[in-house]
């Protein structure tokens, strides 16, 4: 007893019980919405228990009637038994349906909620997690909770009711049989203590291994072209085998523990069962009870032992449930983006939609976590009808600057704002609005790499403007010089794009991405090496179309290609953690290199 108290004290000191309580409260926010359905499921389980107990009584009476040769009651009692069995079957079917309905509803709600929260989570915090890990948490852990919401509290009530009612029947008919219900209890309690420790470790290892496997598969299939190009197929097959070996080893370790536990519990159950048989035979032989009563006691003894085992098994189930909750809470409790200024941004856009919006950044300071500063007192300005270029060596901060503009990351100092019309940040009377996640709706962005989704060209375009007409889509495709190949396709804008832009060259995918950004008609357009796969002539024509467009668009491009600079209004070079505006001579020197 002292050892057991010490164990729970240590658990409390370690904070595990406190953490489990916090995770349980988090799960409750989903479960409480389905309390009526859960009560219905619980009532069905309790009714099923009552019917099963009545069935035991009827079985007792039937045996006593047969052994007493009371033929007049056999048919009636047998019919009652059939009716109870049919009732049990119907209740179980209804209970299974209720269980499936609740699980699916909770599963869908949790996954939708987690999905939406992941999308609004601070971008930099989210990058600490591998995509495979996020997918595992979103799918497996959410499903574990949805099934656990139903299987824990209702089943706990049902099992307790079943144990108490069966025990009450045993005591009512013969109190001596009640002793056998508790023979296996010390063993079950001892095993629950051991299982609790091992279940916590196993659940963590299993979740980590699942995320590792998911991440490996996702990265492999996403980069299959690279794997083929470098002839790495054998290497990746061996890596998969190694991961599978680790996974199987982990599962077998836990399986061995489960087998040992099951063997011990089965041995105890057999011992209790045979002891009950022996005691029942003795009581019948001595005339204390009838044959029917003995069969009832044996049935109830099995019910008590099984229910006690079920109650004990809820402990590791609760640990698994709270472990999954903890893994999801790690994601949803990360910092969220600030989307509280949507109405303010909409009003600001309405006022300056015709004249355009300027982007002004001053004295910006930023460094990624655990790294050297990227910017110190950096600044730039960009106005409507301008094409502003950002140049500099790879890794110097061009993409980081665009992330700051999009508020994917937040500067640690300085001022970043949108200004009405061609106003500058320093203009005292200019209306300004700080950059936040809410201002992101005023940007169109074409990042590096292929960002096309599977579906038709038109569906990809309408991702950014659902109500776009076919004519608007074609106009945007023409502006990006994409329509010259799209119109030659058999189905035109309704031609299918495969996953990751499959079926189109890198240059064609880039032009489609630019068209999608132009279609949105955002006041600010960001192009991150978005013309790198285009030939010089197509690149110049695309930028020329953007510049001559009557729409008051502010365009900012990052590039390594000097040829782009000749069509830019202003060029900033990232040097010494700052954005330096280049003179015309410096720009010519870059072009002539």
How confident is residue 4, by pLDDT bands cut at 50, 70 and 90?
very low
Q: What is the pLDDT of residue 469?
A: 92
CA triple 83-86-88, angle to 5 deg: 110
- For the chain, give the percent of residues with pLDDT over 70: 86
**317-321, 407-411, 494-498: lowest mean pLDDT where?**
317-321
543 pLDDT exceeds 70?
yes
Phi-psi region of 559 (alpha: psi -120 to 50; beta: other; left: phi over 0): beta
**271-285, 348-362, 469-483: lowest mean pLDDT where?**
271-285
10 pLDDT exceeds 90?
no
Relative to beta strand 496-497, strand 455-456 is antiparallel
How confident is residue 339, by pLDDT bands cut at 50, 70 and 90?
confident
Q: Do the beta carbons of residue 254 and residue 216 sit within 8 Å?
A: no
196 pLDDT exceeds 90?
no
CATH superfamily of 2-332: ABC transporter type 1, transmembrane domain (1.20.1560.10)
146 pLDDT exceeds 60?
yes
Q: What is the pLDDT of residue 180?
A: 65
What are the pLDDT digits (tens) for 273-327? Answer: 677 777 777 777 777 777 777 777 777 777 777 777 777 777 767 777 888 888 8
Q: What is the mean pLDDT of residues 322-346?
A: 85
Token code pair at residue 442: 């005023």
CA distance 145 to 110: 8
Q: What is the pLDDT of residue 247?
A: 83
- Its pTM stands at 0.71
Q: How far apart are the first and last CA of the chain?
A: 83
The three-class DSSP label of residue 432 is strand
CA distance 40 to 46: 10
**219-228, 246-255, 346-355: lowest mean pLDDT where?**
219-228
How confident is residue 448, by pLDDT bands cut at 50, 70 and 90?
confident
How confident is residue 12, by pLDDT bands cut at 50, 70 and 90?
very low
Relative to beta strand 357-367, strand 373-382 is antiparallel
Token code pair at residue 443: 């940007």
CA distance 590 to 253: 63
Q: What is the pLDDT of residue 556?
A: 92
49 pLDDT exceeds 80?
yes
How confident is residue 14, by pLDDT bands cut at 50, 70 and 90?
low
Looking at the DSSP assignment, which residues form a beta bridge with residue 360?
381, 417
Q: What is the pLDDT of residue 197?
A: 58
Which of these, 417, 418, 399, 396, lies nearest to 408 by C-alpha position? 399
How confident is residue 347, by pLDDT bands cut at 50, 70 and 90?
very high
113-121 long-range Cβ contacts below 8 angstroms, 24+ apart? 113/30, 113/332, 114/138, 114/142, 114/328, 114/331, 114/332, 117/331, 117/332, 117/336, 118/331, 118/332, 120/336, 120/337, 120/339, 120/437, 121/331, 121/332, 121/334, 121/335, 121/336, 121/337
Q: Do the beta carbons of residue 319 and residue 203 sit within 8 Å?
A: yes
Give the H/E segment covering residue 360. strand 357-367
Residues contacting 383, CB < 8 A, separation 6+: 356, 358, 422, 554
**64-73, 229-238, 366-375: lowest mean pLDDT where?**
64-73
DSSP per-residue letters across 545-586? HHHH-SS--EEEEE-S-GGGGGG-SEEEEEETTEEEEPPHHH
CB neighbours of residue 257 within 10 Å: 15
13 pLDDT exceeds 50?
no
Domain spans, the chain: 2-332, 342-448+523-591
How large is the C-alpha radius of gyration of the chain?
Answer: 35
What are the pLDDT digits (tens) for 66-111? Answer: 776 555 567 777 787 788 788 788 888 887 787 777 778 778 888 8
CA distance 534 to 484: 14
Q: What is the pLDDT of residue 5?
A: 43
Query: With helix as H, strand as E and coil as C, how does 485-502 read?
Result: HHCCCCCHHHCEECHHHC
CA distance 334 to 121: 7
How confident is residue 471, by pLDDT bands cut at 50, 70 and 90?
very high
CA distance 277 to 280: 5
Quick one: CATH architecture of 342-448+523-591? 3-Layer(aba) Sandwich (3.40)
Q: What is the pLDDT of residue 361?
A: 92
254 pLDDT exceeds 80?
no
Output DSSP code: residue 49. H
Q: What is the pLDDT of residue 426?
A: 61
574 pLDDT exceeds 80?
yes
> Of 428 and 133, which is predicted with more confidence?
133
Helix axes of 71-119 and 35-67: crossing angle, nearest 10 degrees: 160
Q: What is the pLDDT of residue 204?
A: 67
Residues contacting 136, CB < 8 A, separation 6+: 207, 210, 211, 214
Output DSSP code: residue 63. H
> Of 100 and 225, which is predicted with more confidence?
100
Q: Do the beta carbons of residue 38 and residue 153 sit within 8 Å?
A: yes
How confident is residue 119, by pLDDT bands cut at 50, 70 and 90?
confident
Q: What is the mean pLDDT of the chain?
A: 80
Q: What is the pLDDT of residue 9?
A: 47
The three-class DSSP label of residue 528 is strand
Looking at the DSSP assignment, which residues form a beta bridge with residue 373?
367
365 pLDDT exceeds 90?
yes
Residues contacting 225, CB < 8 A, separation 6+: none
**67-71, 215-219, 397-401: lowest mean pLDDT where?**
67-71
* Torsion angles phi and psi, residue 550, rounded to 5: -70, -20
Q: What is the pLDDT of residue 269?
A: 66
């Amino acid at each position: 007893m002292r050892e057991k108290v010490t164990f729970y004290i240590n658990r409390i000191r370690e904070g595990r019980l406190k953490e489990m309580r916090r995770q349980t409260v988090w799960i409750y926010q989903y479960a409480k919405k389905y309390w009526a359905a859960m009560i219905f499921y619980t009532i069905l389980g309790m009714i099923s228990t009552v019917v099963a107990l009545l069935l035991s009584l009827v079985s007792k009476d039937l045996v006593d009637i047969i052994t007493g040769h009371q033929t007049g009651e056999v048919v009636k009692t047998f019919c009652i038994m059939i009716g109870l069995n049919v009732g049990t079957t119907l209740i179980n079917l209804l209970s299974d349906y209720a269980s499936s309905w609740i699980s699916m509803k909770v599963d869908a709600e949790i996954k939708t909620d987690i999905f939406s929260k992941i999308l609004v989570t601070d971008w930099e915090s989210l990058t600490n997690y591998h995509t495979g890990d996020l997918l595992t948490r979103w799918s497996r852990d959410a499903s574990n909770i949805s099934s656990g919401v139903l299987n824990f509290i209702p089943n706990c009530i049902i099992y307790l009711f079943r144990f108490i009612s069966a025990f009450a029947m045993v005591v009512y008919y013969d109190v001596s049989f009640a002793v056998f219900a508790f023979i296996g209890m010390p063993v079950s309690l001892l095993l629950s203590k051991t299982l609790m420790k091992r279940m916590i470790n196993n659940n963590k290892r299993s979740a980590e291994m699942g995320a590792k496997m998911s991440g490996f598969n996702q990265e492999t299939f996403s980069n299959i072209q690279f794997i083929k190009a470098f002839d790495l197929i054998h290497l990746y097959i061996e890596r998969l085998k190694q991961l599978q070996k680790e996974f199987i080893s982990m599962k077998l370790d836990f399986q061995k523990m489960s087998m040992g536990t099951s063997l011990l519990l089965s041995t105890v159950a057999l011992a209790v069962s045979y002891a009950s048989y022996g005691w029942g035979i003795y009581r019948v032989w001595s005339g204390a009870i009838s044959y029917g009563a003995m069969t009832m006691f044996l049935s109830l003894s099995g019910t008590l032992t099984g229910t006690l085992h079920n109650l004990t098994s809820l402990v590791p189930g609760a640990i698994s449930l709270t472990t999954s909750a903890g893994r999801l809470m790690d994601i949803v409790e990360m910092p969220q983006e600030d989307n509280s200024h949507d109405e303010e941004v909409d009003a600001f856009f309405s006022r300056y939609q015709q004249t355009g919006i300027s982007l002004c950044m001053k004295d910006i300071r930023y460094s990624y976590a655990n790294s050297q500063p990227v910017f110190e007192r950096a600044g730039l300005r960009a106005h409507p009808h301008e094409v502003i270029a950002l140049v500099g060596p790879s890794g110097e901060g061009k993409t980081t600057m665009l992330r700051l503009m999009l508020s994917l990351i937040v500067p640690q100092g300085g001022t970043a704002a949108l200004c009405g019309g061609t106003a500058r940040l320093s203009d005292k009377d200019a209306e300004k609005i700080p950059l936040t996640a809410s201002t992101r709706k005023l940007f169109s962005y074409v990042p590096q790499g292929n960002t096309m989704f599977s579906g038709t060209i038109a569906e990809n375009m309408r991702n950014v403007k659902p109500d776009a007409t076919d004519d608007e889509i074609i106009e945007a495709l023409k502006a990006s010089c994409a329509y010259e190949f799209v119109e030659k396709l058999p189905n035109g804008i309704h031609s299918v794009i495969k996953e990751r832009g499959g079926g189109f060259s890198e240059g064609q995918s880039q032009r489609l991405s630019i068209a999608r950004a132009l279609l949105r008609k955002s006041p600010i357009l960001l192009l991150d090496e978005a013309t790198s796969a285009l030939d010089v002539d197509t690149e110049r024509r695309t930028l020329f179309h953007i510049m001559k467009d009557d729409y008051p668009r502010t365009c900012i491009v990052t590039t390594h290609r000097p040829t782009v600079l000749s069509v830019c209004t202003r060029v900033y070079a990232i040097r010494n953690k700052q954005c330096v505006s280049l003179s015309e001579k410096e720009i010519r020197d870059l072009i002539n290199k």
